[in-house]
Amino acid sequence: MSASKTMKKIGSLLCAGLVMLLPATVFADYKLNMTPSVTAVGQDIYNLHMIILWIVTIVGILVFGVIIYSLINHRKSKGVTPATFHESATVEFVWTVIPFIILVIIAVPATKTLLAIEDTSKSDITIKATGWQWKWEYEYLDSGVRFFSNLDKASNEARQVKSGKDPRKVENYLLDVDNPIVVPVNKKVRILTTSNDVIHAWWVPELAVKRDAIPGFINESWFKAEKTGTYRGQCAELCGKDHGFMPIVVNVVSDSEYSDWLAKQKKAAADADAGAGKTWSKADLMARGKEVYEKNCQACHMANGEGGGPFPALKGSKVATTGPVAAHIDLVLKGKGMMPPFGTQLNAVDTAAVVTFERNAFGNNTGDVVQPSQVSK
Amino acid sequence: MSDHKPTGIKRWLFTTNHKDIGTLYLWFAFTMFLVGGAMAMIIRAELMQPGMQVVDPLFFNSMTTMHGLIMVFGAVMPAMVGFANWMVPMMIGAPDMALPRMNNWSFWILPFAGTMLVSTLFMEGGGPAFGWTFYAPLSTTFAPKSTDFFIFAVHMLGFSSIMGAINIIATILNMRAPGMTLMKMPLFVWTWLITAFLLIAVMPVLAGAVTMMLTDRNFGTSFFSAAGGGDPVLFQHVFWFFGHPEVYIMILPAFGIVSQIIPTFARKQLFGYASMVYATAAIAFLSFIVWAHHMFTVGMPVAAELYFTYATVMIAVPTAVKVFNWTATMWKGAMTFETPMLWAVAFVFLFTIGGFTGLMLGVAPADFQYHDTYFVVAHFHYVLVTGAVFAIIAGVYYWLPKWTGNMYDEKLGKLHFWLSTISVNVLFFPQHFLGLAGMPRRIPDYAIQFAEFNFMSSLGGFAFGLSQLLFLFIVIKCIKGGEKATDKVWDNPEGLEWTVPSPAPYHTFETAPQIK
Ligand SMILES: [Cu+2]
């Protein structure tokens, strides 16, 4: 076969390859590629990803092109006699050196990007993110604001086994939380990750941060979002039963909105402290207790308080009915066996409310009203 | 020469014959492949639609865990040892393995280890649900009681592998026929020789890791607990020091099988035999010094991240050499496409795709986005399913006539190939998109934006799973009868195995052949 004919063949093969790439544009509604980032470093990562993707695509088209050409033309049914050539120092040298050169081309931008990612100096805000089975705790180290972030209620209801609820009708299914973290735009936010139990990983694709949260150790990472908006991510390291249900939501807002939000958080914390001193009505305690229960207890003890599997029922249980109130409070604060201690997560009002709720809901009807003052830590 | 041997169950229980033991290994591997495959079907059924329809999240986690463990330790590794048992003595002109009684033992440990591993699913608290990588402290402080049985099973699997490896090395180094110099050995023998050294080097490391887990769990040590002065990340270093070479333990013999098949059907000798041997050795060496690329997000010093990036991408060089060699072997050959060749060619294409994504994952800054997503799942299934498993299937079709004396049904073989190859791509290719779009791995439920590709992937998964039942049918049909195979089976294949009758007699090469 003449050289020009060969080239023509290869050319048509290449076109065929490109046509196969077309569905990518047809499917534009579906996300096929890496999520673009709203940070400069994230954009560098994206570009690096595209460089490598293009390199392997081109290499792939060339190598596969040669193989396909060979598969079509070098077959016995075409009456060819097999060639006998083998071993060639030149060819083998060339095809060892070329991949090496390509690797060097990749290594240069990779090194630059990596050095930028790992430069956590000169941050404006530091937030500590602690992984819990299965929620995130955030602490703004500069301002003392601290809260827990759970999977939102609608997702949590729909994601129960055979819940009968259609997840497609839940907005941001599995990617929404009750308390998102809020950060100002164009500020360098340092995230310290650690864990209270097993290893988790804090990941928000659009912020291009993924860092393991390891019990007993603190990891550093950072982002500087250049666009306001809501960015969603998930825990990325298998952390047990509900690993798939501890999302991360970051609201990037303007400076003024951020300071408003901070002020509100601080006031809420102060109110909670004040609330601990006052005497609450049963109705208020029950309402608040129901909320606390749904967020913290329901996953194991179930909505009807009947528990299930290894998780004991609260309905009609000794602890939640005839047993002493103090022991009930103690159990909530300190945990027992598989039940984690809630003392670090619930304040006195929440604890009083949830104990009141548990002693009166599910037909327990003890009539007990527990005040925050009874909860001593 | 008489084929005298006990009959019935005793033949299999007490056998020291390399062919019998090879057969046992291969059937055990296939059984575990179906068990692990059934678990994959449960996983894909749950992931077919958003919401939780089939299993609860904890059971889902134990399915992903057991699927991985069973496929790695129960299916792929024993299948490769089965090939080694059957083919290595025949390829080097040896009458049997060097240590036949140990050979019996190393096989018969496996069914017990496998049973113990699977039995954990029925224990109180459920089976292991911490991923096949069993990171501490999820696998220590926070693991179910059955974990101690899992540890024992891993120890037994390790014993079996180490004994198998010792046997293969002893056989290859001591029992070659006169004139069979090292550089004349078939490539499959070479890849297994190197694999066996990898096994001996890293299985004890795995044993160390699970032993530390055992003492952390039961005897108050704190290797992996910061509260007692230990470090959870230490576990990952130890695990991946085993785990990365483990990947090559599964793929190097696959390279060997494909390097036997392609020259036969291209009717042309392997382009660069020596460079294939050196490339295999280079990959094996590099596999020891790149382990931490599996853990870029644990917070290593930047210098370590750079080092592990550079070392990792270096693996692309010897791997590329291999792919180029297969290509050059096909080039200007006179190819025919019997079933083994189809699987081998598909291996070259699809393994290369897995290699490309492997290169992408090896670059630390990009890996921060890919890590622990479905992109990784897609990558290692391209390498292990369309890589290792495709090579195993190719090898079975290639040598089945030699083993049984009958030709398999070529039409059904081709049907099996096309069904599997199309469905496996429908199964795994969309997972690249899912990972890039941000779907984490090991989750039982997902956000709505991932629904379409998961649905597609599940359909591909069911089709791929069903196709393997066809494989079982084809193999049984071939054992029962079929067109008689000639001694050479194929059109002039290279190698001593084709000089003995088909089926290969119970004892071969009792007098050593002379190699020119
Ligand atoms: Cu987590």
Q: For residues A265 and B55, what is the distance between their CA atoms, to the nearest angstrom? A: 40
CATH code matching the domain that covers A125-273, chosen among 2.40.30.10, 1.10.287.610, 2.60.40.420, 3.40.640.10: 2.60.40.420
Of A325-329, B156-160, B369-373, B429-433, the least confident: A325-329
With contact defined as beta carbons under 8 Å apart, do B471 and B412 qualify? Answer: no
Whether B160 sits among the annotated catalytic residues: the reply is yes
Interface contact flag, B365 A233, Cβ < 8 Å: no
B3 falls in which pLDDT band (50, 70, 90)? low
- Residue A184, SS3 per DSSP: strand
DSSP structural state of residue A33: S
Beta bridge mates, A212 = A201
3-state SS of A75-143 is EHHHCCCCCCCCCCHHHHHHHHHHHHHHHHHHHHHHHHHHHHHCCCCCCCEEEEEEEECCEEEEEECCC
What SS3 state is found at B461?
helix
Q: How far B30 CA lies from chain A's nearest CA (Å)? A: 29
Report the separation in Å between the CA atom of B51 and the middle of ligand 1, taken as the mean of its atom positions.
19
One-letter amino acid at B148 equals D
Gap from A377 CA to chain B (nearest CA, Å): 23
Q: How far apart are CA B96 and CA B175, in angstroms?
A: 9
For residue A280, whether the previous peptide bond is cis, meaning omega lies within 30 degrees of 0, is no
Distance CA B100, CA B406 (A): 27
Is a pLDDT exceeding 50 seen at residue A9? no
In the residue annotation, B62 being an active-site residue is answered as no
Can you give the pLDDT at residue A309? Answer: 66
Candidates B314, B371, B451; nearest CB to A236 = B371
Count the Cβ atoms, other than its own, within 10 Å of residue B182: 12
Residue A122 in contact with partner chain B when CB distance is under 8 A: no
Q: For residue A7, what pLDDT is reported?
A: 44
Cβ of A92 within 8 Å of Cβ of B321? The answer is: yes
The reply to whether domains A21-118 and A125-273 share a CATH topology is no
Cα–Cα distance measured from residue A254 to residue A240, given in angstroms and rounded to the nearest whole number: 36
Quick one: pLDDT band at residue A80, thresholds 50, 70, 90?
A: confident
Mean pLDDT (chain B, rounded): 94
DSSP secondary structure letter of residue B300: -
Predicted confidence band of residue A18 (pLDDT cuts 50, 70, 90): very low
The pLDDT value recorded for residue B125 is: 85
Question: Which A-chain residues 306-325 have CB contacts (< 8 A) with chain B?
Answer: 310
Distance CA B405, CA B501 (A): 8
Domain A278-374: assigned CATH number: 1.10.760.10
Cα nearest neighbour of A108 on chain B: B310
What is the sign, positive or negative, of the torsion defined by CA atoms of A130, B143, B47, B430?
Answer: positive
The Cα A55–Cα B204 span in angstroms is 39
Please determine, for residue A15, whether its predicted confidence score (pLDDT) is greater than 70: no
Radius of gyration of chain A (CA): 29
Residue A58: the pLDDT is 94
The mean per-residue pLDDT over the stretch B119-129 comes to 91
Report the percentage of chain A scoring pLDDT > 70: 90
Distance A245 CA to ligand 1 centre (A): 8
Cα of A100 to nearest chain B Cα, Å: 6
Active-site entry in B155, B322, B371, B381: B322
Task: Name which of A118, A218, A249 to mutate to probe chain B: the one with the most chain B Cβ atoms within 10 A of its Cβ.
Answer: A118
In sequence order, what are the residues at sequence separation of 6 or more whose Cβ sits closer than 8 angstroms to the Cβ of residue A255? A184, A185, A187
CB count in 10 Å sphere of residue A159 = 23
Helix, strand, coil abundance in chain A, percent, nearest 5: 45, 20, 35
Phi, psi of A312 (to 5 degrees): -70, 155
Q: Average pLDDT, stretch A313-339? A: 86
Q: Residue A296 and residue A293: Cα distance in Å, rounded?
A: 5
Q: What is the CATH class of A21-118?
A: mainly alpha
How far is it, in rounded angstroms, from Cα B88 to Cα B91?
5
B433:A245 CB<8 A = no
- The residue behind tokens 């929620």 is A135
Report long-range pairs for B299-306 (Cβ below 8 Å, ≥24 apart).
Answer: B299/A211, B299/A212, B299/A214, B299/A217, B299/A219, B299/A220, B299/B233, B302/A114, B302/A115, B302/A118, B305/A114, B305/A118, B305/B364, B306/A111, B306/A114, B306/B364
- Of chain B residues 345-374, which have a CB less than 8 A from chain A? 345, 348-349, 352-353, 356-357, 359-360, 363-366, 368-369, 371-373
DSSP state, residue B120:
G
Partners of A181 in the β-ladder = A250
Taking the C-alpha atoms of residue B184 and residue B190, their distance in angstroms, rounded to an integer, is 10
Give the active site residue among B217, B293, B379, B402.
Answer: B293
Span B335-376, pLDDT tens digits: 999 999 999 999 999 999 999 999 999 999 999 999 999 999
Please, which residues have CB within 8 angstroms of residue B240's CB and are 6 or more apart in sequence? B291, B292, B294, B295
Q: Quick one: angle between helices B232-266 and B273-286, nearest 10?
A: 170
A146: β partners = A139
Segment A117-159, tens digit of pLDDT: 988 888 999 999 999 998 999 999 988 899 999 999 899 989 9
Output DSSP code: residue B385: I
Query: Does residue B11 carry a catalytic annotation?
Result: no
For residue B503, say if its preceding peptide bond is cis, omega within 30 degrees of 0.
Answer: yes
Cα angle, residue B222 at apex, residues B219 and B223 outer, rounded to 5°: 110
Q: Looking at residue A323, what is its pLDDT?
A: 87
pLDDT for A319 equals 87
First vs last C-alpha separation in chain A:
88
pLDDT at residue A29, rounded to an integer: 52
Backbone Cα Rg of chain B = 22
Q: What is the pLDDT of residue A30?
A: 62
Q: Has residue B196 got a pLDDT over 60?
A: yes
Query: What tens digit of pLDDT does each residue of B5-17 get?
Result: 778 888 899 999 9
Token couple for A307: 């528990």
Q: What is the ipTM of this complex?
A: 0.92
What confidence category does residue A4 fall into, taking pLDDT thresholds of 50, 70 and 90?
A: very low
Task: Kindly state the average pLDDT of the residues B155-177.
Answer: 96
**Weakest mean pLDDT among A148-157, A315-324, B264-273, B276-285:** A315-324
> Under DSSP, is residue A193 helix (H, G, I), strand (E, B) or coil?
strand
Query: Is B332 an 8 Å CB contact of chain A?
Result: yes
Query: Which tens digits make up the pLDDT trace of B275-331?
Result: 999 999 999 999 999 999 999 999 999 999 999 999 999 999 999 999 999 999 999
pLDDT, position A343: 82
- CB-count exposure of residue B250 (10 Å: 0-12, 13-18, 19+): buried
Residue from B244, B298, B57, B70 nearest A236 by CA: B298
pLDDT at residue number B431: 96
Residue numbers in A near B125 (CB within 8 A) = 310
Q: Indicate whether A20 pLDDT > 80.
A: no
Task: Report the distance separating Cα A204 and Cα B3, nearest Å.
Answer: 66
- What six digits make up the tokens of A69? 């050409």
| Confidence (pLDDT) at A87 | 80
The pLDDT assigned to A17 comes to 44
- For residue B449, the model assigns a pLDDT of 92
Q: At residue A109, what is the residue type? A: P
Could you tell me if residue B412 is left (phi over 0), alpha (psi between -120 and 50 degrees) or otherwise beta?
A: alpha
**What's the mean pLDDT in A207-217?**
95
List the beta bridge partners of residue B230.
Answer: none
Domain boundaries, chain A: 21-118, 125-273, 278-374
The answer to whether B96 is a known catalytic residue is yes
Residue B381 designated active-site: no
Domains assigned to chain B: 15-499 (1.20.210.10)
pLDDT at B63 over 50: yes
Average pLDDT, chain A: 86
Q: Is the peptide bond before B100 cis (omega within 30 degrees of 0)?
A: no
